[in-house]
């Protein structure tokens, strides 16, 4: 069930909202838990059992870690728990690719491969579950003895299928007690509407353009049109994912939860290092806290620091999918992170012409998205060759793919992915705060109305991060 679907907007959400605020405080978590289970089971009923298995395993392992006094035994329980979590993730997300590779290397089908449907959101809720047991092992949080509260933390529907990845220590107190004030409710609704507009009005529009252009094949497009198609995907993935994160943050606030920001206008970055401080912040923070720092971070010399960074970005690529193009995408970003760490970053900081820093960063990011969009390395190479080689088209021009309405959306998308917010900081503050401004009420009403009209009049409503 998508947030940007009519069944969610006019059925699921109003019912949950009414039941939640009609119930006494001690019953509200139960309502949210039942709603979350129904939300997840709506699309994949069978995989609700997998999520319940994950919840049960992490609850039991958490109790074992808590009750065990010996550090060695605690470490064993942690290793077993993390192995179980990663084992489930590996089986459902990576085993098909792994066994296919084994058969290819062997030259025959030694292993019979069964098609496995990827459970929605498994990467997100697995990482959340692991953060609970790891922080419990580190003694940074108290054990959660109420399995229903832990179940709500892992399965809470606003951030279940696309994040942000919430660490348990960020919400453990909110699970026990929270108060929803009028300002929280107003801000949550506002944030949800803005996210809905980003997803439906901008992302869906540029997504259709990108899909239509790639459908004709990059061999049939001029070099400039190939770059334009990748640029449309660049806008699509930002407004798609950040819009969904905005809706998740807004829904969380409506029910009294405060989630961290997941995006901070990454396309205005002056370096790849800055980009990753602004893009998918919850994932970057997760890898920093649970991979980079435990590996030694930057405390064990330069070579080890570079190695740790490569490991982090290798895993970041793999987290997104089993295809080699995701691995290449992760290493691509890791390579430039290391280059900047070697000294190029200092040159960027000293460079008075900041526009060149921005061009460099966006060039790396856009090329990376060209790899990311593909389903294989071969397809990625084809697109990258088309981007890097001047060639003529077979009759296609921009007007074959873009309407006047599309042009307006593209301009708005470019302006509001950080350009306007950086030029006029008050606009960014306006977006993140309650202003009770009549002008904003009019804008919110317009965004909501246009979004509903778009959903009613069309069926094209893709969501990139469902596959992760």
User: Active-site residue numbers?
Assistant: 320
Among 271, 417, 263, which residue's Cα sits nearest to residue 358? 271
In the numeric block, the tokens 């697109």 are attached to: 383
Determine the straight-line distance between the first and last CA of the chain, rounded to whole angstroms: 15
DSSP per residue, 196-259: HHIIIIIIHHHHHHHHHHHHT-GGGS-HHHHHHHHHHHHHHHHHHHHHHHHHHHHHHHHTT--P
Between CA 414 and CA 407 the distance in angstroms is: 11
In the numeric block, the tokens 């397809």 are attached to: 379
What tokens were used for 39?
């939300």
DSSP per residue, 293-362: TTTTTTSS-HHHHHHHHHHHHHHHHHHH-SSHHHHHHHHHHHHHHHHIIIIIHHHHHH-S-HHHHHHHHH
3-state SS, residue 383: helix
CB 129 within 8 A of CB 51: no
Provide the b/e sequence for 156-178 (b: ≥16 CB within 10 Å): bbbbbbbbbbbbbbbbbebbeeb
| Helix-, strand-, coil-residue percentages of the chain, each rounded to 5 | 75, 0, 25
**Would you call 79 exposed, middle or buried from its count of C-beta atoms within 10 A (0-12, 13-18, 19+)?**
exposed
3-state SS, residue 115: coil
Where is 275: in which H helix or E strand? helix 272-278
Residues near 178 by Cβ (< 8 Å), separated by ≥ 6?
Answer: 255, 256, 257
């Amino acid at each position: 069930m998508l947030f940007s679907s009519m069944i969610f907007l006019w059925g699921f959400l109003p019912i949950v909202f009414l039941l939640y605020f009609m119930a006494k405080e001690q019953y509200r978590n139960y309502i949210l838990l039942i709603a979350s289970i129904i939300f997840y089971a709506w699309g994949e009923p069978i995989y609700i059992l997998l999520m319940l298995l994950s919840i049960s395993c992490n609850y039991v392992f958490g109790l074992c870690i808590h009750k065990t006094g010996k550090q060695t035994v605690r470490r064993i329980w942690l290793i077993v728990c993390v192995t179980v979590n990663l084992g489930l993730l590996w089986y459902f997300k990576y085993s098909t690719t792994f066994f296919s590779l084994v058969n290819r290397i062997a030259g025959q089908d030694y292993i019979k491969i069964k098609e496995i449907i990827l459970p929605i959101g498994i990467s997100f809720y697995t990482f959340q579950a692991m953060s609970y047991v790891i922080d419990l092992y580190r003694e940074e949080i108290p054990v959660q003895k109420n399995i229903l509260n832990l179940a709500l933390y892992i399965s809470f529907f606003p951030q279940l299928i696309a994040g942000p990845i919430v660490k348990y220590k960020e919400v453990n107190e909110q699970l026990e007690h929270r108060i929803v004030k009028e300002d929280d409710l107003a801000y949550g609704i506002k944030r949800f509407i803005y996210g809905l507009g980003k997803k439906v009005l901008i992302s869906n529009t540029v997504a259709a353009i990108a899909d239509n252009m790639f459908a004709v094949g990059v061999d049939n497009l001029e070099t400039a049109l190939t770059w334009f198609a990748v640029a449309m995907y660049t806008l699509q993935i930002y407004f798609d994912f950040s819009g969904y994160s905005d809706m998740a943050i807004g829904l969380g606030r409506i029910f009294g939860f405060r989630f961290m920001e997941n995006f901070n206008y990454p396309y205005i970055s002056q370096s790849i290092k800055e980009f990753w401080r602004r893009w998918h912040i919850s994932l970057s923070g997760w890898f920093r806290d649970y991979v980079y720092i435990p590996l030694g971070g930057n405390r064990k010399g330069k070579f080890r620091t570079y190695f740790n960074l490569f490991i982090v970005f290798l895993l970041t690529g793999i987290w997104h999918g089993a295809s080699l193009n995701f691995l290449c995408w992760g290493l691509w970003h890791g390579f430039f992170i290391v280059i900047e760490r070697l000294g190029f970053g200092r040159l960027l900081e000293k460079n008075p012409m900041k526009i060149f820093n921005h061009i460099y960063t966006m060039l790396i990011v856009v090329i990376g998205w060209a790899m990311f969009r593909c389903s294989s390395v071969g397809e990625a190479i084809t697109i990258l060759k088309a981007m890097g080689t001047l060639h003529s088209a077979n009759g296609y021009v921009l007007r074959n793919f873009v309407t006047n309405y599309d042009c307006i959306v593209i301009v708005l998308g470019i302006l509001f992915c950080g350009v306007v917010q950086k030029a006029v900081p008050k606009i960014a503050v306006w977006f993140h705060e309650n202003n009770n401004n009549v002008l904003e009420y009019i804008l919110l009403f317009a965004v909501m109305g246009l979004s509903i009209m778009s959903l009613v009049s069309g069926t094209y409503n893709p969501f990139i991060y469902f596959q992760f």
